[in-house]
Amino acid sequence: MTRKSTKISRRTASRARLAFGLTAVVLAAIGVAILLFGLGKAHAPVAGPSSQAQIGGPFELVDETGKTVTDRTYRGKWLLIYFGYTYCPDVCPTTLNTLGLALRDLGPAADAIQPLFITVDPQRDTPETLAGYTDAFDPRLIGLTGTPEQIANAAKAYRVYYRKAGEGDDYSVDHTSLIYVMDPEGRFVTFFGHDANAETMTAKLRQLLANPPKKGAPS
């Protein structure tokens, strides 16, 4: 009897050890999963141009009508910001057309958005030049220019690279070609690459507009 009970208690103990071991393994796996997915979530929107916190910031520029505007002028609206120049015959019209198509696809929802085209060529792009240019893609698109210093500051805030290429009057400007999406409080949310199509852009914007960020929530 004693021998038998000892045998049973030993078996129970080994089962308990096994159960404890298995529980520990499962808990560890859950922990690793939370850690991985949690980190993945936190890092997901950061892919691409650096981190969220570093994109965007104060700027002072001149709009199509010659009026001085700042980043605060457009608070309360979602911003779609693209840096380019009107002498750009290939990339800029392609990207701006995609942006225009997406705005039209969004219908009335696009009222919450202010699209901005900031020139990287202030030497040639005057407010008047920009006014005619932007309207060709969408009447809501506003062109912004400024002094070379103002443009340099805005580009720096958005981590946009631009550099004059070529000599004389027929130079072109190499530039970062991304559309930045800023929320109504001026915080960077995401960006679209130059090869994004209108469908992708519309779907993403619709999703963002339907789930606006909480006021004052950390970005």
Partner 1 sequence: MKVFWSTFIATLWIGCASLAAQTASPSIEVSHAWTRATAGAAQTGAVYMTLKNVGKASDQLVSVSSPVAGMAELHATMKEGDVMKMQASPPIELKPDVAAELKPGGLHVMLMHLKSPLRQGEKIPVTLTFAAAPSITLEVPVRGPGALSDTD
Q: Please give the residue ranges that form the binding site for partner 1 (CB under 8 A).
A: 48-49, 86-91, 93-94, 96-98, 100-101, 128-137, 161, 165-166, 170, 172, 174-178, 193-195
Q: Which is nearer to partner 1, 72 or 164 (CB)?
A: 164
Q: Which is nearer to partner 1, 46 or 213 (CB)?
A: 46
C-alpha span between 168 and 171 (Å, rounded): 6
Instruction: Find the shortest distance in angstroms from Cβ 218 to partner 1.
Output: 26
Instruction: Find the shortest distance in angstroms from Cβ 182 to partner 1.
Output: 17
Please state, in angstroms and as integers, the Cα–Cα distance from residue 130 to each residue in 20, 22, 65, 122, following that order. 70, 67, 9, 10
Instruction: Find the shortest distance in angstroms from Cβ 174 to partner 1.
Output: 4
Q: Which is nearer to partner 1, 177 or 190 (CB)?
A: 177
Sheet holding 142-145, edge to edge: 68-70, 60-63, 142-145, 113-119, 78-84, 178-182, 188-193
Q: Which is nearer to partner 1, 66 or 212 (CB)?
A: 66
Token look-up 């009447």 returns: 139
Instruction: Find the shortest distance in angstroms from Cβ 173 to partner 1.
Output: 9
Instruction: Find the shortest distance in angstroms from Cβ 181 to partner 1.
Output: 15
Instruction: Find the shortest distance in angstroms from Cβ 110 to partner 1.
Output: 16
Q: Which is nearer to partner 1, 98 or 190 (CB)?
A: 98
C-alpha span between 56 and 143 (Å, rounded): 17
Q: Strands 178-182 and 188-193, how do they pair?
A: antiparallel
Q: Which is nearer to partner 1, 59 or 180 (CB)?
A: 180
- Contact call for residues 100 and 113 (beta carbons, < 8 A): no
C-alpha span between 90 and 75 (Å, rounded): 31
C-alpha span between 122 and 119 (Å, rounded): 6
